[in-house]
Each structure stands twice: as C-alpha cells, then as structure tokens.
Structure 1
C-alpha cells in the first residue's frame, strides 16, 4: 500500500469555555467581600469603569476633574503610557453575551449595576487633616498588641545568649494564636543547626513568659505551668492534669485512685482547674475579624408568605462612562489605540452584565430555597425538610454545579437568624411505615431537644431511637450516636457521672 498525504474535512462539536465565561462562573462562587475586591481591581485596570453613584446623574456636575484624570490615565498622546495600559488589559475580545436584554429595574442609563455609597473625606473638616488623597485613615488608628509581638518583646529581657535568642524567636513564630507551641523541636533544631536539648532548654525559658501558660505543647502542660506559677502543682494535682480524659468523663472514682485522694479533694481540684485558662493567648489581638453580611434578606409578609430580596449594600455599583467613551473614540487614534479602547468597552460591558446576572441567579436560587423550606421559616428547625441541590436545580432549570456555586459563601438573613445557604440542604432520614422523610438537621435538633429535657433520667441512645420511632423517624442507634457526637453531647454514661458529680 502506497504512503501518501491527503486532506480530510471533518465536522464535530466541542464545548469551549472562553476566559470571560470562566470568569463569569468564578463570580458566582465569590463571597461579597471577594466580589468587592475583584470589582475594585477591574476599576483600576479599566479607565472606562467607575464606581456608581446615584441613578440620576448630571454629567455637567462631574465634568472636568474626573475626565482630566482619566485622560491622564489613558494618555492617548503618549504611546509608551498607552502600551503599558494596554498590556495591563489582558482580556480577550469575545463577549460573554451574544444578546438578551436586562430589566429596567436592574440597569440604569449609564449601565449601572448594584448600589454603593461614597464618602468625600475632603469635606470632613476645615483643618485639612482629612483633605488630600494621601491621607491614611487606617494607619492613624491605634492597634492592639498581638501575642507574637508581646512574646518577641520579652525575648530581649530573658537573659538568653544571642544564639539562644534566635532559637526563642523561631519558637515564638511557631506559637499559634491560642498560645501553644506545638512544633516538633527536632525539626526546629535541625533547621537551625542547634542541639535538640538546647532548643528544649530555650523553650523552658520561654514558657516562663507572660501570659502564664504560654508556649505549652498541650493543654496538660499549659495547665501545669499555671498551677506551678500558683505554687499548687503538688503530686496529686500533677496526676490530675496528666489524666484530663478522666476529668472530661467525670470518672471521679478513677481520679481518686490515680491521685490518691478522696472524693471531696477531687472535686476541689477540678474546681481549681476550671479557674485556669486553657487558651492563654486569647487575651491578645489576633487577625481582623470580618463580620458576615447576608447576601439576601427574607421577611414575612402580612399574608403569611415570605419575600426574598437582595442585600443591595453588598452589591458593588459599577458603571461605564459612555460619554467619556464617546469623547475618546472621537479622537484621532492609531489602530492599536482603537483596539485598546474597544477592549476596555467590551470588558466594561461584560462586567456590568455579569454582575447583573450573578445577582439574578442568587435571588432565583434563594427564592426557591425559601419556597422549599417555608415550614422552617414559619415553625422552626424541627420542620426543616430534606433538600438537595438537584431538587433546586430542577425547579429553576439550572445545572446542579451552578446551584452549588451560588450557595457557596452566601448567607441569608432571616427572622430566625443568619444562615449559610448550604444550611438548608440536608440528607433525608426515612420515615417509618413509608411515611414522609425527615431532614437530618431536623432529626439532629430533635435529639438535642430530647437530651436537653431529659433531667435526671438520662436517655440512652437506644431509648432515643425508640422515642424518635414514635415520632415516625426510622433511624439506627449508630446514627443517633453520630449526631449526638456532632453536637458535642457526651454519652449517657458520662452524663450520668456529671449528674452524680453535681449532686
């Protein structure tokens, strides 16, 4: 058979995700904080984008200062500046949407998307302290001392040699926010080329730092350091802190045998343990805590129905300055400059449409969740229904992966509190005699209620199974034990010991 070359034409189909489509999918799963950071970065990159203000804008009121600054940013007369700006806009030309319209309520004349507010610090006072763009407001605020800063200050006053101070600094860096130094001393010694015995000796010195109990390697050592500082670490107390598992189980008889004391002394020793601090570093400042803001609100209507609305405060306002785009496009430009302006316009339009589509999708998914779980909003956790992603996806004609992305890192503010959207999805526990299924979260809530109301008559896991069966819930004993442990509720044996200990 002769070998020859030939050309064939074949027709096929393939799914291609453009970079813009990939970013649109990524926007769905961003939290409101991450979304604000993403939009801020896009505004810095694209001279046609700006923060939205009021929907009724007067172009003559915001005339020259902003336009002049944008012209400087774009600088069409300076090719080098243009090239730098164009390289920064590394986005493809393809538009995510090939058509479609948006509602009048979601868009405005300048393609505004979402709400925002802007504060003009230049008008805050006549003294000039807030005037100027260079003022660092956050930098002027006083900051609390962190645990690491507090420990590093004590190293220089510890009397350690220069070499040992380096070891101490490494151990301090390995200490977590709770105040524990759980690092492997062998690894520290190997990394610093030091003797392991010397590293342990330095750690002992560091364990004398304030606060008392800091840089312990476990809870037992932390409590022992605090008792030693109080001059209360006698043999009986030392035995007690070495057997904290028996303390957690309220095994008073076992503790009496190990510590060599009577029942009354054990109770006194446990009471002293409770006065100690298992997290010595908690008194110091840690990382900045960011409050969770709900993405949607649910409120009850006078007719008993529930209304769902977006939290407009978490939606970034972005608009494209079409007047400025028209002004720049009318200037004489080279081909590369026209291409850059076109890319900016396409990306600005895509971002505004994507933000609008994201908001619509979140509202659609949240509305369906509220519809499916209306009994929860009306009567509480015990009436939570079993629900999965597929049920919601089928109801709103979306893919399961889209619903999964929408419910990630999104929160719903309700009359019953703040909940993550994923909270409303739970497995189904079958009902007895073919009855209706029950939500796993609702069953977990019933188990907690039963144990909270048990009083002195402690319910075993088997007894809880019998009671739940009477409620029409078919559940195994091991499932009850698993749910009980997830609620951090001790076993029936431990609960009986707690009752006897408190008697």
Structure 2
C-alpha cells in the first residue's frame, strides 16, 4: 500500500470555549454558581464585584466592546445602560404583554449627614443586656444556629463519662456504644461484642453476662429506649421507665410483649379478643403505645436544615403574575475599568498579552452569566404561563407539561431546557418548587382531555385525607372514584403514586376512632 496525502473538505460542529463555559454555567445550581463566580473573581484580576449604586457601564461595555478593544459608539453606550430583561409580567392567558424593568439597588444611608450626627440618630441600637430581642432579629439565635450539631454517640458518651464504672465495664460500654446506629439500636449481637473483648489468655476474661449487664446499664441512658436490639425491646424499655401509676401501663406491656405482630397488622378484633379489652380500653392502650418513640436516636440526631435559595421569584400584583430573577443568588460582577485602561493596543509584551487575554475571558464570563439569566427567565416565564392554574388553584389544577413543549416555546433544544430546570428553584405564593416539579406526564380523561400525574397525586392525597379511619380506601376503590371523575387510571398506577407519596396501604391506615 502506497502512502499518499489527500485534501478533504467537510463541515462539523465544534464547541468553542465560550459555548462550553455558557453550558457549564447554565447547568450549575445556585450554590455551585456562587462558587464558580468566586473562583473567577480570585483567578481573573479583570473581574470585580459591582457595588450597589455603582454605574454598570464597565460591566455592560465588557459585553459590547470588540475583542480588539475598540470603544463603543454613543448609541451603543446609551443602549448598554439597560439591563437584560430582569423581570417579566404575565397577565391573562390571552394577553401577550410583557413588561421589562431595571434592577435598582437601594441605599438606606442618608446622603447628607451633619458632622455632629450621632450614630443612634440614624440606626437603632441593639437592646441592652437582659432585654429580649424581637423574633425578627437575625442574630437572636446565632449561637444555636452556628453551634456544632451533637450526634447520638456524643450524647451517649457524655452520659457515660458521668457514670461511675470500673475500667473493665467502661471498655465494655465503649464497645457497645460503637455498635449503636443512628436510630439508637444495637446492631451487633452480644455474642459478637463479647467475642471482640474475650481473651482466653487473660487471668480474668470478660464474660457474656458482664456484657449484658453493661448493656442494661446503657439502656437507662437518655433518650429512653437506647441500646435496644429490636422494636419490641425498645418499646418495653420505654414502658418500664414510665411511672408505675401510668394508666393502662400493664395492658400496654402485655400487647407489646405478646401481640406486637397484631399491632403491626392493625388487627383490632383479634387484639380485643385475646387481650380481653373493650374497644375504649384498647383505644387508650394504643394511645399510650403510640406516644412512645420507635426510633429514639432521632430525638438526638437532628439533621441541620438545608436551606433552598430560589433562582426565580413569582408574585402577583394587580392581577398580573410577575416573574423575576432573584438578585441575591449571585454577586453582580463587571470588568475593572482601571486595569482595562492599562492595556495598550500596539504592545505585544508578555504582561500586556496576559492582561488582554484576561480581559477577553472576563467578557466571555460576564456574557455567559447574562445568557444564563436570560435563558432561566425565559423558561420560568413559559412555565408560569402554562401552569397558571396551579398558581391560582393548587396541585389539582396542574396541567401536563413536558420538556419539548417549553423547548419549542423558547426555541431551544430540549437538552438545554433540561439543564435549566435541574436544581433551579422557583418561589411562588404556594411555596418553593424545583422547576422540574412543573413537568409531569399525562393521563387521558373520558372527555378526551389530559390530566397530569401531579394532579392525580393531589386527588389521591385528598381521598386518603377524607377516608374513614375504620375502613380506609383500597387502591381499587380509589381508582373507581377517580374513574367517576372521568380520569382513567389503573389500580397499579394508583398504588405507584400512593407509594411515591409515602402513603401506607389501606390495611396499615386502619385506625380506631
């Protein structure tokens, strides 16, 4: 085979660095976007944070300036003072009027203050010691919010250090504590714990009875029920720690000790027959048992709350739905005009080339941020336009919606819409929802229309809330009730939606009233 050179012409799609950066910023969550902006501010000297009240001309000039550093025309300077569609208003479904407004920063500090003005005359001072602060004070609970979270093991070890024990028993206690999970249960058998401590070469090896005795000591720690090996033992520990004159305490011990399986299956007829309790007595006994904690560790292992910062805020003013980006999700950045003025056109030195490259990267980054905000606002606007019934009436008015519908409305690819709606949140009068929440499949109705799966879930939840506690609705019955409303849904579909909402089956929802 003879080697030869050939020329071939062809066209192919390539992703430029600018497009890769825009796609990367588009799919970032709020927290990741803040980290990305902070990293860009630290790595690029041409970028800086625009303070409130500053003129945004350097920021916008970075978008409209040419790559060679040409100055914009006066008409461009006039145009670039306007922000790129920060908010939009949606009126009725038959109206296409959308209003754009500028973001405006506020400054509460008076412009002119006398030289002898006291600080207390302008700002309200903090309350004196011993005076309780208002509930709206952000710093009133600073210590509790920022203190480290105490785990269950820390709580047990703190009690163990205050308990007088021999060194031998303390070693056994630490081995047992290491086997307690977050729910408060002992996950290792006593035989295994004893096997890890037993040494036949010792003069006085640890016995199994000693391990069990130390476990009983730990089971008196707080929270009640800690160190149990199963649910039955956990409930009995808590019952045994109640005062002896607690009403129906012996009957509760009887049911937990011998009829726990009937309690789980809610077979109240068998319970009354075997325990010889009347319905009123059984109701009181069940109330006592239900007051116990089946997972005692959860009372100590408090997971710190995770706060969601919405990307889009939806409000209603004068009968019009207003959609705007949250201005607090990320700092506003711009090009540092002082550093940009140092760049010389004809200079090809290494320093000047570096500054020119950094300026170009700063322009790309700002333009990518603006593109992200514009795309997010477009998608959120179309979602609100489509799901206005949900905002007005709730989940039962949710309409079916798929990504391709929004993609066609904003003339973008479906994959772009998927990136925009992932880990982006919308604040509405009905709560904060991920943008993905507004998309759902559809189920046909008798009238030839469509009903979203979200609306069906809301209907199932409503049926369960209004059912009889003595005779809960089965999946077949709920499917029949939905069919009466013209919604064709199978029993297995009802079961799938019910399980997705963590609603127990009908036999487990049965109650005594």
**What CA distance in whole angstroms lies between the structure 2 residues aligned with 1:199 and 1:348?**
69
**What CA distance in whole angstroms lies between the structure 1 residues aligned with 2:409 and 2:49?**
36
Structure 2 residue 420 is matched with structure 1 residue 420:
no
1:352-388 C-alpha deviation (Å, 9 max, x unpaired): 1121111111111111111111222233222211111
Q: 1:462 to 1:150 in 2, by over 3 A?
A: closer
Which residue among 292, 311, 332 is the counterpart of 1:276? 292
Q: Tell me what 1:307 maps to.
A: 322
**What CA distance in whole angstroms lies between the structure 1 residues aligned with 2:480 and 2:424?**
38
**What CA distance in whole angstroms lies between the structure 1 residues aligned with 2:195 and 2:367?**
56
Which secondary structure state, in structure 1, belongs to the residue aligned with residue 433 of structure 2?
A: strand
Q: CA deviation at 1:142?
A: 6.5
Which residue among 451, 464, 479 is the counterpart of 1:465? 479
Which secondary structure state, in structure 2, belongs to the residue aligned with residue 432 of structure 1?
A: coil
Q: Tell me what 1:357 maps to.
A: 371
Q: 1:331 to 1:154 in 2, by over 3 A?
A: farther
Q: Tell me what 1:39 maps to.
A: 37
Q: Map of 1:59-74 to 2, 5 A cutoff?
A: none
Q: 1:374 to 1:7 in 2, by over 3 A?
A: same
**What CA distance in whole angstroms lies between the structure 2 residues aligned with 1:288 and 1:310?**
27
Q: 1:377 to 1:241 in 2, by over 3 A?
A: farther
**What CA distance in whole angstroms lies between the structure 2 residues aligned with 1:196 and 1:12?**
82
1:277-329 C-alpha deviation (Å, 9 max, x unpaired): 23434444745323223221222343x442211121223212221222323x3
Q: Map of 1:71-470 to 2, 5 A cutoff?
A: 104-106=81-83, 143=147, 146-147=150-151, 148-158=153-163, 159=165, 161=168, 163-164=171-172, 167-168=175-176, 170-171=178-179, 175-176=181-182, 178-180=183-185, 182=187, 206-216=218-228, 219-230=231-242, 237=253, 240=256, 246-256=262-272, 266-284=282-300, 286-302=302-318, 304-327=319-342, 329=343, 335-432=349-446, 435-455=448-468, 459-470=473-484
**What CA distance in whole angstroms lies between the structure 2 residues aligned with 1:17 and 1:338?**
28
Check whether the contact 2:311–2:425 (CA below 8 A) recurs between aligned residues. Answer: yes
Check whether the contact 2:46–2:339 (CA below 8 A) recurs between aligned residues. Answer: yes
Which secondary structure state, in structure 2, belongs to the residue aligned with residue 308 of structure 1?
A: strand
RMSD: 4.5
Check whether the contact 2:467–2:473 (CA below 8 A) recurs between aligned residues. Answer: yes
Where is the helix percentage greater, Structure 1 or Structure 2?
A: 1
Q: 1:165 to 1:477 in 2, by over 3 A?
A: closer
Gaps of 5+ in 1: 60-94, 96-100, 127-137
Which secondary structure state, in structure 1, belongs to the residue aligned with residue 45 of structure 2?
A: coil
Q: CA deviation at 1:445?
A: 1.6
Check whether the contact 1:431–1:438 (CA below 8 A) recurs between aligned residues. Answer: yes
* TM-score when normalising by structure 2: 0.69
Q: CA deviation at 1:29?
A: 2.7
**What CA distance in whole angstroms lies between the structure 2 residues aligned with 1:381 and 1:482?**
18
Q: 1:468 to 1:349 in 2, by over 3 A?
A: same
Q: CA deviation at 1:211?
A: 1.9
Gaps of 5+ in 2: 58-66, 68-75, 86-101, 110-118, 126-141, 200-205
Check whether the contact 2:173–2:215 (CA below 8 A) recurs between aligned residues. Answer: no
* TM-score when normalising by structure 1: 0.71
**What CA distance in whole angstroms lies between the structure 2 residues aligned with 1:342 and 1:270?**
76
Q: Tell me what 2:95 maps to.
A: none
The count of corresponding residues between Structure 1 and Structure 2 is: 435
Q: CA deviation at 1:452?
A: 3.0
**What CA distance in whole angstroms lies between the structure 2 residues aligned with 1:189 and 1:22?**
59
Check whether the contact 1:52–1:115 (CA below 8 A) recurs between aligned residues. Answer: no
Q: CA deviation at 1:238?
A: 6.4
Q: Tell me what 2:89 maps to.
A: none
Q: Tell me what 1:81 maps to.
A: none
**What CA distance in whole angstroms lies between the structure 2 residues aligned with 1:344 and 1:192?**
64
1:223-260 C-alpha deviation (Å, 9 max, x unpaired): 33322333889797265268656435421133356767
Check whether the contact 1:171–1:203 (CA below 8 A) recurs between aligned residues. Answer: no
